[in-house]
Structure 1
Amino acid sequence: MENAWHTHKGRVRDHNEDSVGLFESEDGVPVAVVADGMGGHQAGDVASQSVVRIIKEELHHLKRDMDTEKIRKLTLRAVAKANHEVYEMASNNSKLQGMGTTTITAVLGDDEIVLSHIGDSRAYLLHEDGLYQLTEDHSLVNVLKKHGEITEEEAKVHPQRNVIVRAVGTNDEVEPDIIVTPWYEGDILMICSDGLSNMVEVDEVGIVLTANLPLSKKADLLLERALEAGGTDNISVILIKHDGSIQSTN
């Protein structure tokens, strides 16, 4: 599988609290992780970096022949362990109190993707020139939209648009959304932090992803678009293209 990624502090923040992970299990199963930390400098860094590290450790033993339910259970266990460790660190260190992170983890098989999602980082799948959002934001504005209290346009400028209602490390337990989706040769999975999805309209993302360009150039363009739009937050994006092989390549 071909892949490309970026993580960038943006134009406004003085440091990057996002962390990304792109690795393979010992049996060659590709895994991608994006975590968007919160809690200020040091705390957000610690939270996001810890989640990526623990998920990598916990999913190291993924096997190619595992069924969906087994992958789901292992992913849930990995996120639960990450949540426990971040919560304990925040509870026992006054400098880290209040820290947390979003997380989105993708386990990539030959014919399906298993996603674990908490927070407002997002996953999209490009399939036959259609771009589909696979995740639902765990954010206050999304709750308000679902209840018909605000419109999509109002959500974009809402003063509490950055408030997350579910995150890793802020409570002793957390429940991820698990999304299982088929994917096919030629499809592209994109996972990103809200520093990209809040800055670049989905139509523009679709234009970039369907362009006749190398995957690395598409990742470059998405980062450029987010920076051109203001880059008000940290920006992270991972692109993975299904090239007919489970083996990932850089």
Structure 2
Amino acid sequence: MARRTDIGRVRDLNEDSTGLFVTDSGTVIAIVADGMGGHQAGDVASSEAVDTIQNVLKIENLNVSTDEKSEVLLHAVGKANERVYTLATENSHMQGMGTTTIAAIVDEHEVVLAHVGDSRAYVLHNDGLYQLTEDHSYVNLLIKHGQITAEEARNHPQRNMIVRAVGTSEDVEVDLVNTPWSEGDFLLLCSDGLTSMVSEREIGIVLSSTSMSIDEKADKLIQLALEAGGNDNISLILLQHTGRSATS
């Protein structure tokens, strides 16, 4: 397991937060959140969301069915939304803050995800990189409606605008995704500070490299994002399926 966060080359504050822990039964909980709302707000939104989700999941039995894991994640993200929205409502300097959230329950059989915003999850399987999540972003809506190409989206002036976030309104719509995974696979959770700087092709090349350890792969991804400009905070969690569980 590897977890990294970097302020990048442009921002003067890191508004990303990450959470990573292993339950007694060996299930991994991984969370990446990318806050928005500027000083005293974005970093609060992301850290509160991560803490709330971790606190909910830590007391749950996660040796349950896929559907039950999804329900637990939905409940946890709902609680995070409640927490961030309440803070934003009660503190004028935090008004309007919110955060992307991607939370995963990972055991040796499957990855179950809850997702809001434009942070992403990828799985590398048989050297092919697959994006598990769909961005809740303005440019992604334009792509889906055929108004711009994926290439145009990379440089669109509103490419950072998200249409769904945790904490910006009383209710939040959460995407739930699950996939089996197996020995040799990698799971990557990351903020858009990585994916806006580094192409999927480059990410795939790094993850499928046989000469780098998991820590070296994580460091390399951060390095590539910084070399490409580091225009945003960069955060990632990388897990490898070793054949037993994600941790062993």
Deviation at 1:38, TM superposition (A): 0.2
Cα distance per residue 1:51-91 (max 9 Å; x no partner) = 11011100013435311111111110000000011001101
Provide the residue aligned with 1:235 in structure 2. Answer: 234
Give yes or no for contact 1:25–1:59 (8 Å, CA) kept in 2: no
* Residue equivalent to 2:127: 129
Q: Please list the CA deviations of residues 219-240 of structure 1 after superposition, one character each: whole Å capped at 9, or x if unmatched.
A: 0000000000000000001100
> Could you say what secondary structure the match of 2:165 adopts?
coil
What corresponds to 1:219 in structure 2?
A: 218
Deviations 1:165-208, CA, capped at 9 Å, x for gaps: 00000010001100010000110000100000000011000110
Q: Which amino acid aligns with 1:203?
A: R
2:46 aligned partner, one-letter code: S
**224-233 vs 16-25, greater mean Cα deviation:** 16-25
Shift of 1:101: 0.2
Residue ranges of structure 2 left out of the alignment (5+ in a row) = none
Match among 207, 210, 220 for residue 209 of structure 1: 207
Q: CA deviation at 1:126?
A: 0.2
Conserved? CA contact 2:108–2:246, under 8 Å: no
Matches within 5 A, 1:1-250: 3-63=1-61, 65-212=63-210, 213-246=212-245, 248=247
TM-score between the two structures when normalised by the length of structure 2: 0.97
- How far apart, CA to CA, are the structure 2 residues paired with 1:154 and 1:247? 37
Task: In structure 1, list runs of 5 or more residues that go unmatched.
Answer: none
Aligned Cα root-mean-square deviation (Å): 1.1
Give the TM-score normalised by structure 1.
0.96
Instruction: Give the deviation of 1:113 after TM superposition.
Output: 0.6
Deviation, structure 1 residue 247: 5.8
Paired residues in the alignment total: 247
2:16 and 2:46 in contact (8 A); partners too: yes
Deviation, 1:144, is 0.5
Change (3 A) 1:210 1:232: same
- Asked if structure 2 preserves the Cα contact closer than 8 Å seen for 1:17 and 1:38, the reply is yes
